[in-house]
Structure 1
């Protein structure tokens, strides 16, 4: 773990163990660049969707046509909607008959059961579902990568139910002031943790990188603006036949990169205008949750030890 002194993550506890060797079956990273990949579905009204998955989650990224019903579903668990920018807007209904209007940038939690989401804007929307929603998991363009469960990724064990029950919840990024002592803008649900990082102008300082690894969870980095290089290194073991070259993969926006544990990784924004990514984890991270004030809705979604 290597962070600069002014990086809030420098206060995190070290991983529980050293990274396993390559011979232990570490999965390969996946680079899914929607800026060059055709959509998996296009609606009659012109909305485009890309569907990908990780071990514990499904991500549906939609570039919508205004007024289009972008999806309608009945789910056993909560879903998370990410309204990426100020042009992202939805009208949502749930099985209880209530309706909601939200304009981004925002994170929305939709309760289990029936829901219908109509885009009232033209900005992008990302939906996060649990991968045990088998119908959606099967639609993922990379579903074949998970025919065998990913090694080293812990199965999802949902955290406790929200203290006031399931309901539609809206978190506007405009309500979150900057705080240099806090890392990003972190929200959690029973199954997800999302760091809705602020957009950054210009390239990242190459002298202030942050190579690190995770014990037992994937990281999905959703790039929504700019250009990034994802630097990912698979640890080497004694069997050189199983060594994997380092990845220094350049991706555009939008794109999703799935970073398996325990690869060493860091991401570098290189676009000269705006670079913006959102980090997604399933389930919630204990290390981030342990830092006071980092999880902005911790009072609504308790941790397993609360």
Structure 2
């Protein structure tokens, strides 16, 4: 990253922080007989998923010591671009890491008792780092013990638009009774035989390595889960990944729905785990600078739109 790019990124981050400060912790709450869900206007980010019958909290609340987020939405980049820069039509742009949505207040389009819709649209500020005209609509719907995340990405411009989209929900690992990471497992809805992309400083190494070998469960303390960085796999659309106490059924699940990739981020020695549904994935360590040549991105034609969905399910 050049000094100019670093300065631009710092100024942009400061602008987003100052803008968000005026909206800090403005919550929208939706509920049904099973769940109560709180969503922050900043980032349209879920901050709480609580079971009405037990009062149990499932979403990581965020703190400075472990991880300050809860469930950020990543758009129009998943994690970061190489060097945090990219080019389009010969001009260089600096893209904020994990995009801009997570620090930006959303427009609350509509709410009901069990549903809420948030909207982001391009403007003069977004044009400084993303020269495409877009509209991103995020809707949360409660159905039984499920929180359905619906996304619609619209290209309002006259040229092809390139983007990525991902969720990043973090879930609390209960530590009462002396429980630790070794007492929890991932539970997969099908036997998984997949390789993973190693993550290096927020970028994906294209040289994949073995990960799961026809397995349906994986302990959080398994050696394959040790080490910094996430584990990104192509799990396949509709795959369900749960978190469970060892040998038991899952207490929380993420149904990937329309998202083919998932990032599994296990911050070591911390009482949380993140499951990140991704349309694409991190930029590659050897990625080209031109945004139209970044293979993990979706190319959306002029005036086109795409819809995606994933679900968090409390068991």
The TM-score, its normalising length taken from structure 2, stands at 0.28
The TM-score, its normalising length taken from structure 1, stands at 0.29
- Name whichever structure is richer in strand by fraction: 2
Higher relative contact order structure (alpha carbons within 8 Å, sequence separation ≥ 6): 1
